[in-house]
């Protein structure tokens, strides 16, 4: 794999829809289709997967801030994917019915970006402004923490197009707000504000848009003061629903943390 002068992993080919920025324990993963409000397509999902894997391979990274360039976080899937020849959704619709369904491996390519973020050994913070709709909100829900501008518009709009969320929201939203509220937000496709996201427990913080960058940076730096080992094990232990596994992960993480403590000579 190509390396930078600092021996950091870099993509084999330059990314076109996302940027990896920053140095040290805090990095930025930036959605970079501002002319389309960072609408998502197959290229972006593949590049997000690659970027998450590259950042995971860098032991210096403890926190990754996921944000959007321009006026929005992400407006969801690019509507061109429904209509243009070769578009992702249009191509999916052309798959015949089968058992197993031949459509599923193609959908799994998009889902892999969510899986990589969820399983990454660093804390992910979604910095939300403008809109985070449909696949945009699903991508934010794949992160560990969400901090939003109070006037940001959020919503899972898939039902308005005769579809359902398939990038992880059916799992992550239930864990945040419970089954009843998750069903309501998905099936009604109701939009809500950043302030409401905070009230529901979807966002950790909701601040004015001028305060958003500083609020996210302050939180990221606080977490980045911890070791990558501590962050990775706490995240893994919290993410599992299995109590015995959570205890095992926490014990293994504690052992690794203790071994890294400064040693002092006996008196």
Q: Where are the alpha helices (DSSP H) in the chain?
A: 42-56, 80-83, 88-93, 104-119, 135-141, 169-177, 179-188, 194-200, 209-224, 228-239, 243-260
Give the 3-state secondary structure of residue 130: coil
- Number of folded domains that form the chain: 2
What's 161's domain CATH number?
A: 3.90.226.10
233 and 105 within one domain: no
- What pLDDT does residue 266 have? 54
Segments forming the whole domain that contains residue 124 = 18-225
- What pLDDT does residue 5 have? 37
pLDDT higher than threshold 60 for residue 3: no
CB under 8 Å to 195, separation ≥6 — which residues?
Answer: 150, 206
Q: How far apart are CA 117 and CA 95, in angstroms?
A: 28
248 and 184 within one domain: no
Q: What is the pLDDT of residues 129-155, one digit of tens each?
A: 999 999 999 999 999 999 999 999 999
Contact (CB, 8 A) for 202 and 176: yes
127 and 241 within one domain: no
- The dihedral through the CA atoms of 19, 21, 27, 33 has a sign that is negative
Closest by CA to 74, choosing from 158, 138, 24, is 138
88 and 181 within one domain: yes
176 and 145 within one domain: yes
Q: What is the pLDDT of residues 169-192, one digit of tens each?
A: 999 999 999 999 999 999 999 999
Q: How confident is the model at residue 7 (pLDDT cuts 50, 70, 90)?
A: low
- What pLDDT does residue 11 have? 80
Q: What is the pLDDT of residues 209-234, one digit of tens each?
A: 999 999 999 999 999 999 999 999 99
Q: Does residue 10 fall inside a structural domain? A: no
Q: Does residue 66 fall inside a structural domain? A: yes
Q: Does residue 12 fall inside a structural domain? A: no
Q: What is the pLDDT of residues 99-126, one digit of tens each?
A: 888 889 889 989 999 999 999 999 999 9
């Amino acid at each position: 794999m190509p390396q930078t002068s600092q021996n950091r992993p870099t993509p084999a080919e330059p990314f076109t829809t996302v940027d990896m920025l920053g140095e040290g324990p805090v990095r930025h993963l930036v959605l970079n289709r501002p002319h389309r409000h960072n609408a998502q397509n197959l290229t972006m999902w593949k590049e997000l997967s690659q970027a998450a894997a590259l950042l995971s391979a860098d032991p210096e990274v403890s926190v990754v801030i996921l944000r959007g360039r321009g006026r929005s976080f992400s407006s969801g899937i690019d509507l061109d994917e429904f209509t243009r020849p070769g578009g992702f959704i249009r191509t999916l619709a052309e798959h015949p019915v089968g058992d197993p369904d031949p459509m599923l491996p193609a959908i799994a390519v998009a889902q892999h970006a969510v899986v990589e973020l969820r399983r990454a050994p660093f804390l992910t913070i979604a910095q939300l402004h403008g809109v985070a709709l449909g696949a945009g909100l699903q991508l934010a829900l794949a992160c560990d923490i969400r901090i939003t501008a109070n006037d940001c518009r959020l919503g899972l709009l898939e039902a308005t197009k005769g579809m359902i969320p398939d990038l992880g929201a059916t799992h992550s939203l239930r864990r945040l707000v419970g089954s009843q509220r998750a069903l309501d937000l998905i099936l009604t496709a109701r939009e809500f504000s950043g302030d409401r996201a905070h009230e529901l427990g979807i966002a950790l913080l909701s601040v004015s848009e001028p305060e958003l960058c500083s609020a996210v940076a302050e939180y990221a730096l606080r977490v980045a003061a911890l070791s990558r080992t501590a962050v990775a094990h706490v995240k893994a232990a919290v993410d599992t629903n299995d109590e015995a596994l959570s205890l095992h992960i926490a014990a293994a993480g504690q052992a690794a943390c203790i071994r890294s403590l400064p040693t002092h000579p006996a008196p």
